[in-house]
Structure 1
Amino acid sequence: MKRQYHIGQTVVPYEVNWSADRETIGLSVDTSMELTVTAPMSATHDDVEAALDEKQPWILETLYGLGEQKDPPLDKEFLSGEKLLYRGRQYRLKVQEGDVPEPTLSFDGNTFTLRVHRFDKPGDDVSVRRKRQAVVDWYLERARRELEERVETHASKLGATDATVDVLDLGDRWGEYHEGTVRLHWRLILAPVRIQDYVVVHELAHEKHDEHSPGFWNTVGSVVPDYEDRRRWLRLNGNTLTV
């Protein structure tokens, strides 16, 4: 059931998900600016309201940031001359016909080359989906390798040497930490490395801190001193990190 939380004249709709696996109350805001509260079964509505009161600054900051977000780019048709984003930079795409059963993407450091079958005609919806899947597959492979390296780079700094890494589609979340596993959205491979590092350090810090407490942010800041700038960049530009 939808409920409402009031911050002055601002009304924030929210929904509570009760979970037997939760020990603390957590908050998240999606791109539609709706707030979700995940609470343990033992929590009361008063406990939820108290958590919302405590997190008022975070709620306002997050909602304000979502309102400033840049619009996502227009859908691609995967034609020669378009550009693909990788590690914060745009690279030209070149499409070549070849004797391939499925579209395949490669990258030489300067240009992306998408090899397609002669029946993969420009503008055809099925062909566009096939091309897009080839691009996503390439990003996934790179993300699994490179994001794991970013985790290895920072884990020792935070004493999280046993952390494992899972790269997948996390929907509207960039990362999460669960029982020793850092889960990262594959689309982070599109972001500048400094932004990847912020998300990695953020999630690794959750090994010692469940909540976004002052201690948590001190831990993040010990490795990424300008984390507030990086967090703001991701909040404003996250919509542009798409295929």
Structure 2
Amino acid sequence: MQSTESETVLLRPGMLAAPVGCPVRWCRSTRARRVSLRIDPRAGEVIVTLPMREARRAGMALLTTHAAWVMQRLAALAPAVSLAPGAEVLLGGRPHVICHDPSARGGAFLEGATITVTGQLEFLARRVKDFLRAEAKRRIAVLADGHAATLGVKIRAIRLKDTRSRWGSCAPDGTLAFSWRLVMAPDWVLDYVVAHEVAHLRELNHSPRFWAHVETLAPDREAAQDWLRDNGPALLRVG
């Protein structure tokens, strides 16, 4: 069980610095055993988690102690990208411009480096996101089927999610799940994540045998891991 509440808190990031407004989401959780804080890169706010009976002043004390770190992390976040006409979004690691054409038909579709969206403006953001999810599902399915054939394993199902911390997962029943936002990453990065999860169908662990399968399927895994570490948070800021 968890309850949340958001507000702007004034923090002083340095002894001589002026107070700065910091967006904070307070979360009370029955599972929490101690006060903790983390940055939510998608929402651009700090999440302070409190045990159910812990006073909020304990969270404020933690925020105050780590004020400089918190403000630095928030300032380092990539700018939020709204799904609006003229905005650029990545597809396969390449920028594509969103173009609104209300007189056309077809929902949303790709034309070169343009994502054309039809219909009323109020539906544009949803249609762009639906297009990206559909494109992610199509690309992931092709990659997953190829890797599964190489390893001689069977995929039960592929699910798309919008997770904040995990790009992919593999369930014991053979169901693979991926963040739809991976469609914005370069193709070789997407390929690595898909290969990683398909390899779990052979080894549901991170043993040397597992990594050997990954290396066979995606030789660029180290570069892909670096790309996700450096650029992954920006993907969470889209939409």
> Normalising by structure 1, what TM-score?
0.62
Query: Structure 1 residue aligned with 2:177, among 177, 183, 187?
Result: 183
Residue aligning to 1:200:
194
1:167 match: 160
Q: Distance in 2 between matches of 1:203 and 1:85?
A: 23
- Residues 33, 218 of structure 1: alpha-carbon distance in 2 compared, 3 angstrom cutoff: farther
Deviations, residues 175-207 of structure 1 (Å, cap 9, x unaligned)? 100111111111111111101111111111112
Give 1:158's match in structure 2, choosing from 135, 140, 151. Answer: 151
Match of 2:82 among 76, 87, 101: 76
Equivalences, count = 175
**1:84 Cα shift?**
2.2
Tell me, yes or no, if the aligned pair for 1:177 and 1:203 is still in contact at 8 Å: yes
Q: Residues 49-86 of structure 1, C-alpha deviation per residue, up to 9 Å, x if partnerless? A: xxxxxxxxxxxxxxxxxx7xx7333232512x322211
**Unmatched segments (≥5 aa) in structure 1:** 5-12, 15-29, 35-66, 121-126
Partner of 1:55: none
The counterpart of 1:226, out of the listed 216, 220, 228, is 220
Partner residue in 2 for 1:49: none
Moved more, 156-165 or 198-207: 156-165
Partner of 1:115: 118
Moved more, 89-98 or 135-144: 89-98
Mapped to 1, the partners of 2:194 and 2:46 lie a distance apart of 24
Q: Distance in 1 between matches of 2:83 and 2:184?
A: 18
Percent of pairs identical after alignment? 30
The answer (yes or no) to whether the contact 2:192–2:220 under 8 Å persists in 1 is no
What is the Cα deviation at residue 89 of structure 1? Answer: 0.5
Instruction: Rate the CA distance shift 1:77–1:93 in 2: closer, same or farther, 3 A.
Output: closer
Distance 1:220 1:33, change over 3 A: farther
Partner of 1:97: 102
The 3-state SS of whatever aligns with 2:90 is strand
What letter is aligned with 2:183? I
Q: What's the TM-score, normalizing by structure 2? A: 0.63
Q: Is the 8 A contact 1:155 1:163 kept in 2?
A: no
| Residues 79-118 of structure 1: CA deviation (Å, up to 9, x unaligned) | 2x32221111001222223387xx932212232212233x
Residue by residue, what CA displacement relative to the aligned partner does 1:205-237 show, whole Å, maximum 9, x if unpaired? 112222222222222112222311111111211
